[in-house]
Amino acid sequence: MAYSAAGATKRRPIWPKDGWMSLLARMAQDRGANADLPPVVRERITRLQDNSERMIGWIQLGIVLTFGVLYGLARQTAPMNTEIWLLTPAAIGAYFAATVIRIVLAYRIRMGTILLAGSILIDMALLYSLIWSFHLQYMQPASFYLKAPTQQYVYIFIAMRALRFEVRYVVLAGLAAALGWLAMVGYAISANPGDSMITRDYIHYMTSNSVLLGAEFDKIITILAVTTILAFAIHGARRMMTQAVTGSHAQENLSRFFSPEIAKHISRDGHQLTAGEGEAREAAILNLDVRGFTRLAATASPQEVMGVLADYQRQMVPIVQRHGGSIDKFLGDGIMATFGATRAQEDYAARALAALEECMQAAEDWVKAQEASGRPPLVINGAVASGRIIAGAVGDETRLEYTVIGDAVNLSAKLEKQNKAIGCRALALKETYDAALAQGFQPRAAYRVLHQVAVGGVAAPVDLVVMG
């Protein structure tokens, strides 16, 4: 085994030193190699395999119904009042019953190795029993069934096992098919001790019930070749499937710490965030804060404090996301969200103000619910400012944070605090409000404009819009 320079990532050699047969054997013994995967990822892969088993069952049901239809349309030669006539219908009926049982099991339980391996062997046994019965059904020598086109279904049976993305079951199906056909050939040769039916004449083979060993070995070699090719293909495809499922899980986890856009960028594009990386964009910044939360934190239990905080965030975060915003960070009882920062949005200001309006509406009901629970009075304040910002990663190689930097970021935070001085619940920069109107924002109420307001920490007075 080779290791990366960091010593953390194992890499398997592309071609084994001991040959491809050894590799095939290892793949056959590989049970998914999922032990080193997170439990959630393993469970997802297992669910995919469960769905594959159900699909296999329905495919098999289609095959057995096809057998039944073809048999019904075929000319019957054996007398209907004999046991011979019942052989083929019995084989089809047994296969039908086994398939139905398999479908029921696939939906009711998680099929283990023994059941899956047993179903493969039963499938092959029933198929070959059906083929074997042909010489009795049509009152021909045993070698007659070797020319039955039904043998081609063997490849479908092997290919079906590829749907599960486990090499061992494909290999088992292929080996069962090859050994089964070898047994069928052996029986055809030995069924009549007085005449082995073996010939070396191809024309005689094609025009009689004789057996051409080369032709039968060709079938066996073809079965093994198809099995080997599928095994190698599934081995590689399984790795890709595992990586895809792992990547999907990683993206979901990343989305809990980064915005969905950033998480997707990292996990799908293979992009590695580095400190100092950034992009300049026009964006709007929304800040929310709970006034009175500090007093609650000083008097309530830690469990109650965290419960109130979590409930508040559950109310506000979906609203922000529904309007296309990305949560930049949680600042205690504060929430900072961006619109147009992680990905370009032409209507970033309209989205931000629409989110602010809805947050303020939801806040009224939330505050009333908190008061009804006997908690101290709480007020949710909000503010929006917009302008040119820089979005990127800050920190070092051991700890990175994706954030936004710019005057709009600072101004939004200061406007949120300005709510208390003015005696309102929500503010927006007048320039941002005008930009939102131009972008299609339709306010729910007529808001008042405050001209040349001195905001703490801001050098020059600014025009504001009171939105709550």
Which range of residues forms the domain containing residue 395? 271-466
The band of 166, judged by pLDDT with boundaries at 50, 70 and 90, is: confident
Q: Are residues 305 and 369 in the same domain?
A: yes
Q: Are residues 307 and 211 in the same domain?
A: no
Q: What is the CA radius of gyration of the chain?
A: 35
Q: Are residues 367 and 433 in the same domain?
A: yes
Q: List the one residue out of 313, 326, 351 whose CA is nearest residue 265.
A: 326
The band of 44, judged by pLDDT with boundaries at 50, 70 and 90, is: low
Q: Which of 19-23, 347-351, 361-365 bottoms out in mean pLDDT, i.e. has the lowest?
A: 19-23
For 182-232, how does the pLDDT look when each residue is reduced to its tens digit (9 = 90+)? Answer: 999 999 888 887 777 888 888 888 888 888 888 899 999 999 999 999 888
Indicate whether 302 belongs to any domain.
yes
* Beta strands at 426-429 and 462-466: parallel, antiparallel or unpaired: antiparallel
Q: List the one residue out of 167, 178, 175 whose CA is nearest residue 216.
A: 178
CATH number at residue 330: 3.30.70.1230
Q: Which helix or strand (DSSP H or E) is residue 285 part of?
A: strand 278-291
Say which DSSP state 211 is in: B
Q: Are residues 280 and 215 in the same domain?
A: no
pLDDT for residue 259? 54
**Is it the case that residue 399 has pLDDT exceeding 70?**
no
Q: Which of 9-13, 311-315, 403-407, 464-468 bottoms out in mean pLDDT, i.e. has the lowest?
A: 9-13
Q: Are residues 137 and 73 in the same domain?
A: yes
Indicate whether 263 belongs to any domain.
no
For 296-336, how does the pLDDT look when each residue is reduced to its tens digit (9 = 90+)? Answer: 888 888 888 898 888 888 899 999 999 988 888 888 888 99
Question: What are φ and ψ of residue 38, in 5° steps?
Answer: -60, 145
Q: Are residues 381 and 305 in the same domain?
A: yes
Q: Are residues 180 and 276 in the same domain?
A: no
According to DSSP H, which parts of 109-199 are helical?
113-132, 134-137, 153-160, 167-190
Q: Are residues 323 and 231 in the same domain?
A: no
Question: What are φ and ψ of residue 332, in 5° steps?
Answer: 65, -115
The angle at the Cα of 71, spanning 70 to 73, to the nearest 5 degrees, equals 65
Indicate whether 324 belongs to any domain.
yes
**Is it the case that residue 291 has pLDDT exceeding 60?**
yes
What whole-number distance in Å separates Cα of residue 354 and Cα of residue 320? 9
Which tokens is 362 given? 């939801």
**Is it the case that residue 6 has pLDDT exceeding 50?**
no
The angle at the Cα of 453, spanning 450 to 456, to the nearest 5 degrees, equals 140
